[in-house]
Structure 1
Amino acid sequence: MTISFSEHEEVILRKVCSNCTSEEYLAELIREEGEVEACYYCEDESNCVTVDELANKIEAAFNDHFSLTSTEPNAFQSMMLKDKESDYDWYREGQETVWAIADAARVSEDIARDVQSVLEYRHEDWDSALAGIECEFSSDAHYEEIMPENLQWHSQWDEFERLIKTEARFFSRTAASYLADLFDEIDQMRTHDGRSLIASAGPDTEITSLFRGRVFQSEEPLLEAMRRPDLGLAAPPATAAASGRMNARGISVFYGATTPEIALAEVRPPVGSRAAIARFDMIRPLRLLDLSALAEIQESGSIFDQSYAYRLGRMMFLRTLSSKMARPVMPDDQELEYLPTQAIADYLSTESKVPLDGILFPSVQVGGEGVNAVLFHKASRCEKLDLPEGTSIRANLYSMYEGGPEADYFVSEEVPPEEEMNDEGSSKRRSMRPPVDWRDNFDADPRIDALKVDTDSVRVHEINAVQIETFSHGVRRTRYEKRVPPF
């Protein structure tokens, strides 16, 4: 039953103070917006707002976080009710409006009933009532808390993909704004167990090194990579950088994996080729966005905080983003399908408010069980090998024996003889670096070394066979007689 107009006018002007709610965020809002008056419910002198103003806040929270439950059993429940052998009894889900308000706002039953009556009065619709349609906030209605919709985020992602692929690949303000909304607060987000989404890598962390592989189908490039793994197995120069999941063509980044087995799987070597794998140690601290942690992201807050529904929607979308960014892409589709992830990597590398050096993401080549990493261009420089000037490096793939050549991979360095000792007793071997040439300044690389190859870790794998894991499905085949319809 709704209240009369005169009763409604009296109720909406009643004062309720911040002490009458134990919901901290709501209490703080009342303290900030209210004025010191006598509270109708507890009679204390404190900061108060009217019941009408409190009803506004509760209605806004319910619009985002609560939903009316069904007034009738669903099809399955109806079948259970009709089953004579079943003792099933149907109860409407959720709480009655008054108790839903009381629990959500953490107020007394008296305050909740006054707020309910005000909201019911607002939403009263005689035509709906006559048609048997339940009005919002009626006393008999039931409400349950829901997760806010994330359809807006998915819709914006679809639009972002369409825009990047078909309209504005470069300098898109719409795309940049969307990525800013997604990522500019990732350093403040946490998983359900309190972990940061940003993983520390480098010395004295859990991630101190990455393995990187390269496939060779002829001997000379392999020999050169063996001689100088700091060049041949590290991130390629810009002129040789092919497009990848997280980089556009011509942008050199370092792709690596946490184990050599994953690195080998990721380069997808064909049978008959050779794959060289080396370990690269991180020599300075790096910050990496952990995509797998996105699936466990958690947001906390108050339903009376207008930004909470927005953050919950973003949370629900980010939980799916890891699979979107790491999903398998067929070779024929890579040029187009990699564009969204390339744009995200570019944004995080150069435009994000949160400084990042790379991304950790699941390896699709090993069924998502392994971890890959991409180090952005600014963090992909490898330290040069310490070689004296004049060093001659020789690499071999075979050694000759009586029975003929046998596989034997080795590298030998021939260094020039030691020069005369100086007065302090140390050698004065010349540096391999040539004299500084002013022309070098045009090609200078300002990046700080982030990686150092472990030459003892280099291994060459001769690919004899490739094991493929599949789900096998039979193909059903039927035959039927063609018939002409009788009409």
Structure 2
Amino acid sequence: MHSVDSDDLEAKRICYACIGEQYLSDEVRAKGKRAKCSYCDKTRRTFSLDKMAERVATAFEQHYYRTSDQPNDYEYMLQRDKELSYEWNRHGDDVVYAIQNAAEIPEDAAQDVQSILEEEHSDFDSAAMGEETEFASDSYYKEKKVSDDAWREEWYRFENSLKTEARFFSRTAATHLAAIFDGVDALRTRQGQPLVVDAGPGTPFHTLSRARVFQSEDKLEAAMCRPDLQLGSPPALVAAAGRMNARGISVFYGANDPKAAIAEVRPPVGSKVAVAQFEIIRKLRLLDLTALKNVQMRGSIFDVDFARRLERAQFLKSLSNRITQPVMPDDEPFEYLATQAIADFLATESSVPIDGIIFPSVQVAGDVLNVVLFHKAARVEAMEIPSGTEIRARTGQSTAEGWEVDYSVFEEVPPPPPKVDEEKEKSPGWPDFDAMPALAGERVDSDPREPSLRVMPDSVSVHHVEGVVFKTDEYQVRRSRWEKDDRSPF
């Protein structure tokens, strides 16, 4: 302890102007008592040094650790090596400097805070044994590395709960997902990019490519005739389960590159793949999983919630890989449960309005992106086709040289209807059904969703799958043979 008595130290006060750390300074300015500062002699809003020490102790408990006052085994080995001129120095910063640097306060104030904390943490037994205690005058401190172990454990319980306990009404899953994603629209990457981005008109992300595999000429021709119906999101009755949707929930999977769209549907050799571009016609909000790995959390160590937010940010950095890791076909029913639950939560329960997710392609390397638009944003606008139009498609034609591939669509529209005299009398005795609102309700099968996508008919193309290229890492199998004896490793 300094020559000043402990009670006298605790009675000292420090003003917000003597505290450079913004969060703590603002707290003193807002909640402090107006009094004379012991360090600048100005009368301002102040905290007692006792309260200041309490705030420092809490911050250090969450964000710092006291380093060992002895070398570790490796450092001992270096010291014993006579060929090396290794000199061991204790890791971290001197306790007074660590306090001064963390709170950005004058050195004499940091010394006073250290003295108060050393007195609070000292005990007779440790002193008798010569053991160093927290905030001892010769102690050193270093910032902790952020660990997301608790979040990883929660994620494991979340996945296990979906697989073995409650799949559809899991309070555990809902609570965990809310903790992960609430307020995600306020997060930024190191470069200042948001995690929730705009897509649609006037944005760089305004078109998507979508592919569908065909092994039947009739179905392929139907898709060529009406790509809005056949290449858009499927009807609920035929919507298969996918990475981001359960069976029967119709969503729109697309990609920012046509070749990526083809790769994602994993077409068999010999099949044909139709690809179309879709224009996003209204503003949508998408969660960009590719940005998670660069997320940065800003805050103050004197904010008691900052440590958990740092741990959350650390977990988010690995979440993109967890969500998009390759899954073997036989494992898909179980391994997709977590990602399906995430999509359902973001689509319906999240406090942040989100229409879909951007995620990296599993099938194609590079800067290729996939997008899933949730059901609420997956409706494709119907093509403008006059009533009575006959549409035909062909995939080729016979020529003198043989069959020539030729994908064409022909639309035969009816002639314009004859003009009707506006003064034409209506048949007496027949009610005007169009003028009766009570009878003009919506059709039972009408879709209340606002269209989000518009197919670009001229973008439709057909790809013949002639072969598949695999990128692999090769590892040679080593084989050995020896005669059995007592030294056999088996």
TM surpasses 0.5: yes
Corresponding position of 1:337: 335
Any idea what SS the aligned residue of 1:306 has?
A: coil
The residue correspondences of 1:148-159 to structure 2 (distance < 5 A) are: 148-159=146-157
Residue 184 (structure 2) pairs with residue 186 (structure 1): yes
The one-letter code matched in structure 2 to 1:309 is: A
- Shift of residue 422 of structure 1? 7.5
Residue 369 (structure 2) pairs with residue 371 (structure 1): yes
Match of 2:87 among 85, 89, 96: 89
User: Does the C-alpha gap of structure 1 residues 87 and 455 become closer, same or farther in structure 2, counting only changes over 3 Å?
Assistant: same
Corresponding position of 1:54: 52
The one-letter code matched in structure 1 to 2:344 is: D
Corresponding position of 2:211: 213
The one-letter code matched in structure 1 to 2:376 is: K
1:176-222 deviations in Å (ceiling 9; x for gaps): 12211211201111111111111111111101100000011222211
The residue correspondences of 1:297-316 to structure 2 (distance < 5 A) are: 297-316=295-314
Corresponding position of 1:269: 267
1:334-374 deviations in Å (ceiling 9; x for gaps): 11111111111111111111111111000010135310000
Tell me how far apart the structure 1 counterparts of residues 38 and 199 of structure 2 sit (CA, whole Å). Answer: 58
Corresponding position of 2:390: 392
Corresponding position of 1:42: 40
TM-score, normalisation: structure 1: 0.92
The residue correspondences of 1:430-469 to structure 2 (distance < 5 A) are: 441-469=443-471
Aligned residues: 474
- Shift of residue 404 of structure 1? 2.7
Any idea what SS the aligned residue of 1:316 has?
A: helix
Tell me how far apart the structure 2 counterparts of residues 334 and 133 of structure 1 sit (CA, whole Å). Answer: 56
Whether contact under 8 Å (1:64, 1:148) holds in the other structure is no
Any idea what SS the aligned residue of 1:366 has?
A: coil
The one-letter code matched in structure 1 to 2:275 is: I
Tell me how far apart the structure 1 counterparts of residues 329 and 81 of structure 2 sit (CA, whole Å). Answer: 55
Coordinate RMSD, CA, aligned: 2.3
The residue correspondences of 1:17-32 to structure 2 (distance < 5 A) are: 17-32=15-30
The residue correspondences of 1:68-467 to structure 2 (distance < 5 A) are: 68-367=66-365, 369-420=367-418, 441-467=443-469
- Shift of residue 231 of structure 1? 0.7
Tell me how far apart the structure 1 counterparts of residues 317 and 60 of structure 2 sit (CA, whole Å). Answer: 24
- Shift of residue 146 of structure 1? 2.3
Tell me how far apart the structure 1 counterparts of residues 338 and 55 of structure 2 sit (CA, whole Å). Answer: 39
The one-letter code matched in structure 1 to 2:468 is: V
The one-letter code matched in structure 2 to 1:466 is: V
User: Which moves more between the two structures, 365-374 or 76-85?
Assistant: 76-85
Whether contact under 8 Å (1:210, 1:258) holds in the other structure is yes
Tell me how far apart the structure 1 counterparts of residues 21 and 362 of structure 2 sit (CA, whole Å). Answer: 45
Corresponding position of 1:429: none
- Shift of residue 288 of structure 1? 0.7
Any idea what SS the aligned residue of 1:311 has?
A: helix
Corresponding position of 1:470: 472
Any idea what SS the aligned residue of 1:11 has?
A: helix
- Shift of residue 120 of structure 1? 1.2
Whether contact under 8 Å (1:68, 1:141) holds in the other structure is yes
- Shift of residue 484 of structure 1? 4.2
Any idea what SS the aligned residue of 2:332 has?
A: helix
Tell me how far apart the structure 2 counterparts of residues 131 and 68 of structure 1 sit (CA, whole Å). Answer: 18
Corresponding position of 1:479: 481
1:142-188 deviations in Å (ceiling 9; x for gaps): 11122443222111111111111211111222221221121120111
Corresponding position of 2:431: none
Whether contact under 8 Å (1:3, 1:121) holds in the other structure is no
Tell me how far apart the structure 1 counterparts of residues 274 and 161 of structure 2 sit (CA, whole Å). Answer: 39
- Shift of residue 481 of structure 1? 4.6
Any idea what SS the aligned residue of 1:341 has?
A: helix
Tell me how far apart the structure 2 counterparts of residues 292 and 131 of structure 1 sit (CA, whole Å). Answer: 53
Tell me how far apart the structure 2 counterparts of residues 412 and 180 of structure 1 sit (CA, whole Å). Answer: 51
User: Does the C-alpha gap of structure 1 residues 455 and 286 become closer, same or farther in structure 2, counting only changes over 3 Å?
Assistant: same
Tell me how far apart the structure 1 counterparts of residues 385 and 75 of structure 2 sit (CA, whole Å). Answer: 78
Corresponding position of 2:426: none
Tell me how far apart the structure 1 counterparts of residues 480 and 12 of structure 2 sit (CA, whole Å). Answer: 75
The one-letter code matched in structure 1 to 2:10 is: I
The one-letter code matched in structure 1 to 2:379 is: R
Any idea what SS the aligned residue of 1:46 has?
A: strand
- Shift of residue 77 of structure 1? 3.3
Tell me how far apart the structure 1 counterparts of residues 368 and 123 of structure 2 sit (CA, whole Å). Answer: 58
Tell me how far apart the structure 1 counterparts of residues 485 and 367 of structure 2 sit (CA, whole Å). Answer: 52
User: Does the C-alpha gap of structure 1 residues 483 and 115 become closer, same or farther in structure 2, counting only changes over 3 Å?
Assistant: farther
Tell me how far apart the structure 2 counterparts of residues 288 and 423 of structure 1 sit (CA, whole Å). Answer: 51
Whether contact under 8 Å (1:147, 1:312) holds in the other structure is no
Any idea what SS the aligned residue of 2:320 has?
A: helix
Tell me how far apart the structure 2 counterparts of residues 249 and 319 of structure 1 sit (CA, whole Å). Answer: 29
Tell me how far apart the structure 2 counterparts of residues 329 and 129 of structure 1 sit (CA, whole Å). Answer: 58
- Shift of residue 441 of structure 1? 2.4
Tell me how far apart the structure 2 counterparts of residues 199 and 363 of structure 1 sit (CA, whole Å). Answer: 18
- Shift of residue 421 of structure 1? 5.8
Corresponding position of 1:431: none
User: Does the C-alpha gap of structure 1 residues 442 and 418 become closer, same or farther in structure 2, counting only changes over 3 Å?
Assistant: closer
Tell me how far apart the structure 2 counterparts of residues 78 and 225 of structure 1 sit (CA, whole Å). Answer: 73
1:393-428 deviations in Å (ceiling 9; x for gaps): 11111201123322221111111123346899xxxx
Tell me how far apart the structure 2 counterparts of residues 28 and 360 of structure 1 sit (CA, whole Å). Answer: 38
Sequence identity of aligned pairs in percent?
49
The one-letter code matched in structure 2 to 1:363 is: S
User: Does the C-alpha gap of structure 1 residues 371 and 485 become closer, same or farther in structure 2, counting only changes over 3 Å?
Assistant: closer
